[in-house]
Amino acid sequence: MRYDLNLLPVFLALMEERSVTRAAERLGMTQPALSNALARLREMLQDPLFIRERYGMQPTGRAEALAPGIAAAVASLDELVLGQQGFDPTKADRLFTLAPNSYVEFVLVPGIVARLRERAPGIRLRLVPFGADLAETGVTSGATAMVLGRIIDPPGNLVVQPVMEDGLACVLRAGHPQVNKRISTKQYEQLKHVNVLPPGRLRAGLFQALQRHGLRREVAISVTHFLAVPEIVAATDYCATLPGLICRHLARDARLKILAAPVDLGTFPVEMAWHVRYRHDPAHQWLRDLVIEVARETLPGKTA
């Protein structure tokens, strides 16, 4: 019996996205083409595979059972084929899906995009959310090329590489009535704070650092992105404790001032992780090297 191997990535995309629309977008197909491929998948595997329900396409028990084997088979084929291909960035025409956390998206992605424009104008990026569950990003199946952030408890099919480390500093409004050029431990604990809760587990680093030093914070507001902080801090007497590279950007705002934290809060790691299927993919290797290069130029002395 002949098998259409082109159907296997369709199966994996549907497992990840649970939506014909999103799966088609990820694969660069039209919805009718993907629906046709799903019909052929069902015939080939003799199972409905995905059932349309109120909140999306839900896999059947057989689909759940087949998924690990199909993912492993596609990974093996990709490693075999892609490892034999050469790569010329100036001629490449490829879409990479990345899942950076909000910190990486703010401090590294602009530099990555600028270098791609100069060196590989045919390479395009698609960013998806970095969540608490790595499986939701698509990286554990290989549908997403890379996650960038703090990688906690990665599964065995992911390769994790350090990118850099960053520290923490405090942001206050320039004319703050209580704090001048230095913030004391007592002042830090008396102030109200803006807390950033990005998706994923980056936030654990600051919480743990404060606990180590016995520092307390009175959180007045929690926000979901670093970009919300400057407007809040500029209009209040609140304090925000943010990564050093974020503070470097905010230092350009005359309404704000950046001060060292009252104690050394240490550093937090930034890592990238990818599916083992891309270990020998020349294009993926080139992109990984580019990420390290951008990180090295952005934060000299604290990169991998």
92 pLDDT above the threshold of 70: yes
pLDDT for res 83: 56
Task: Using the structure block, give the residue that is written with the tokens 């230095």.
Answer: 182
Asked which of 69-78, 213-222, 265-274 is least confident by mean pLDDT, the reply is: 69-78
**What is the average per-residue pLDDT within 102-111?**
94
For the chain, the straight-line distance linking the first and the last C-alpha, in angstroms and rounded, comes to 49
168-266 matches 94-154+276-298 in CATH topology: yes
Q: Tens of pLDDT along 237-272?
A: 999 999 999 999 999 999 999 999 999 999 989 999
Domain spans, the chain: 7-79, 94-154+276-298, 168-266
Q: What is the mean pLDDT of the chain?
A: 89
Q: Taking a C-beta distance cutoff of 8 angstroms, is the pair 9, 46 a contact?
A: no
Distance CA 76, CA 40 (A): 23
pLDDT for res 84: 55
Neighbours of 113 (CB within 10 A): 14
Q: Taking a C-beta distance cutoff of 8 angstroms, is the pair 130, 99 a contact?
A: yes
pTM, full prediction: 0.73
pLDDT for res 202: 46
pLDDT for res 302: 64
Question: Which class is 94-154+276-298 in CATH?
Answer: alpha beta
User: What DSSP element (H or E) covers 50?
Assistant: strand 50-53
297 burial level (CB within 10 Å; 0-12, 13-18, 19+): exposed
pLDDT for res 131: 76
Which overall architecture, per CATH, does domain 168-266 show? Answer: 3-Layer(aba) Sandwich (3.40)
Q: Tens of pLDDT along 25-66?
A: 878 789 999 999 999 999 999 999 999 987 788 999 999 999
Q: How confident is the model at residue 204 (pLDDT cuts 50, 70, 90)?
A: low
Q: Taking a C-beta distance cutoff of 8 angstroms, is the pair 3, 9 a contact?
A: no
Multiple choice CATH, 7-79, 1.10.1040.10, 3.40.718.10, 1.10.10.10, 3.40.50.460:
1.10.10.10
90 pLDDT above the threshold of 80: yes
